[in-house]
Chain A
Amino acid sequence: AQSVAQPEDQVNVAEGNPLTVKCTYSVSGNPYLFWYVQYPNRGLQFLLKYITGDNLVKGSYGFEAEFNKSQTSFHLKKPSALVSDSALYFCAVSLSYNTDKLIFGTGTRLQVFP
């Protein structure tokens, strides 16, 4: 069965430090991978996606993510965290041969401390 795992419910990081939010997936076939962010009392906003090509993709607000096929991972990273990055982050996957549905992870709450 297709699935997405976000192993950490919460990640804490000090402002200015690098951050990583982890995501692993389990699908058959070639995945399309997405990261979304949800700020308090808001809907989800698209951050970035991996379709094909370069394994390192860059997105909004200085975030980037690295696709690793051998480890079936798509970790979200940022070199220097901001307090304003504190939010709920969701990883999602869709399949190249399936419908346009997304499978979402359970979310990781990022807390950046001043």
Chain B
Amino acid sequence: DVKVTQSSRYLVKRTGEKVFLECVQDMDHENMFWYRQDPGLGLRLIYFSYDVKMKEKGDIPEGYSVSREKKERFSLILESASTNQTSMYLCASSTGGPYNEQFFGPGTRLTVL
């Protein structure tokens, strides 16, 4: 089975801190994604990557950056955390092709105080 792991289930940070969220997948997938999930808004794509060192902006990239130095690892960085970035963050991976399902990690619930 595909396994996608995220470094933390719960995280509490202070406004202005730099925050790193880590995601690792073990199935050699080309694509990796970062979403945030908010009630009533569904999942919104922040960034995705289709290869090592490659990245594309999603729908809400402002305030975030990403890093993919190795194929299995995709990091989301909040350069200066703000309270409006309090949310559930979900990482996903998939093989190439729009017809392939994405596999999700358990999520990180981030609270910014």
Binding site for B on A (CB under 8 A): 9, 32, 34, 36, 41-46, 49, 51, 90, 94-96, 98-102, 104-107
Contacts and interface: CB of A to CB of B under 8 A. Distances in A.
Interface residues of B, number: 29
20 contacts: A32-B99, A36-B104, A41-B106, A43-B105, A44-B43, A44-B90, A44-B104, A45-B104, A46-B103, A99-B48, A99-B98, A100-B50, A100-B100, A101-B33, A101-B45, A101-B48, A102-B102, A104-B43, A106-B42, A107-B42
Nearest to A9: B40
Q: What 9 A-B pairs have minimum CB-CB distances, sorted nearest first?
A: A43-B104, A106-B42, A94-B98, A104-B43, A46-B101, A44-B104, A104-B42, A43-B106, A51-B99
A102 to B, nearest CB: 6
B103 A32 contact: no
Contacts, number: 62
